[in-house]
Amino acid sequence: MKIGFIGLGIMGKPMSKNLLKAGYELMVSDLHQENVKEVEAAGAKAATNREIAEICDVIITMLPNSPHVKSVMLGEEGMAAFMREGQIFVDMSSINPTASQEISAQLSKKGIKMLDAPVSGGEPKAIDGTLSIMVGGDKDVFEKMKEMLLCMGSSAVYCGAVGAGNTTKLANQIIVACNIQALAEAMTLAQKAGVEPQLVFEAIRGGLAGSTVMEAKAPMMIAGNDKPGFKIDLHIKDLNNALDCAHSVGAPVPMTAAVQEILQWLHNHEGGQKDHSAIAQYYEYLTDIKIGR
């Protein structure tokens, strides 16, 4: 099975390398040639999008947002024009569920099956191949692709029809964002009250408040490390999609709106390329303290 992989950024690059480690034949494309060369050195073959569309059995995209995926697939000279019946398109980007459904509808006219399969876990889990993968689409296609997906993740869960994967990812991103905000707020409270945030972390991590978010982000906040595993600008994009989806279905999401305003403030103060744990820096700005330092 020949796989094409388009989008070799923070997440796509290690994901593609894990497919190579699993023995898959891979053709890759990215706007940044240094990323292509790095994955090529690991065993992939560089190619144009058209070559990938014409040759590969399965095409994976890992791109920033809905417009990028729609442009690559359906735009002028988009890949759909060169694809054939029987190919499978797996979009692992985090995009609006309605965009996934629009792309799938166009591809189905050519007999091309699509899965929307966004991931959670950030760069560390992309590197070690333990991402959580949420999948929407035809269940038979999911079963066919599951072994391949599990080369990049520790779990791949079928969530329903096309769009269900991205709806699940939006729910995930709401929970992650609100957890990070609560963590930053709690650590700020602790420090203002004279208790070391590191000791708070050690005391509560094993209890009900403990979480994967806390384990990953509390040490970063305490160390002042904002190197991006998942950028604030990308989380803003995801929450914009969540708010759009919520408004369209009539779901109340006031907490999501509140944390989105904090993320937007950070973007406007040169924080958009920082890790989303830099939500703590918003509280540092308000209180003139630095958590753990």
Can you read off the two tokens belonging to residue 232?
């604030």
Active-site annotation holds for 169:
yes
CA 24 to chain centre: 22
User: Where do runs of H (alpha helix) occur along the chain?
Assistant: 12-21, 33-41, 49-55, 66-74, 97-108, 122-128, 139-149, 164-192, 197-204, 212-223, 232-249, 254-266, 279-287
Burial class of residue 247 in the structure, from the number of CB atoms within 10 Å of its CB (0-12 exposed, 13-18 middle, 19+ buried):
exposed
* Residue whose structure tokens are 């709806």: 167
Please give the full DSSP string across 79-134, using - where no structure is assigned: GGGG--TT-EEEE-S---HHHHHHHHHHHHTTT-EEEE--EESHHHHHHHT-EEEE
Q: How far apart are CA 49 and CA 268, in angstroms?
A: 34
Instruction: Give the length of the chain.
Output: 293
Q: How far apart are CA 60 and CA 77, in angstroms?
A: 18
Q: How far apart are CA 191 and CA 196, in angstroms?
A: 6
* Measured CA distances, 206 to 31, 121, 201, 212 (Å): 43, 20, 9, 11
Q: Looking at 169, 217, 231, 274, which residue is catalytic? A: 169
Spatial CB neighbours of 254, under 8 Å, sequence gap ≥ 6: none
Q: How far apart are CA 41 and CA 165, in angstroms?
A: 32
- Residues with catalytic roles: 169
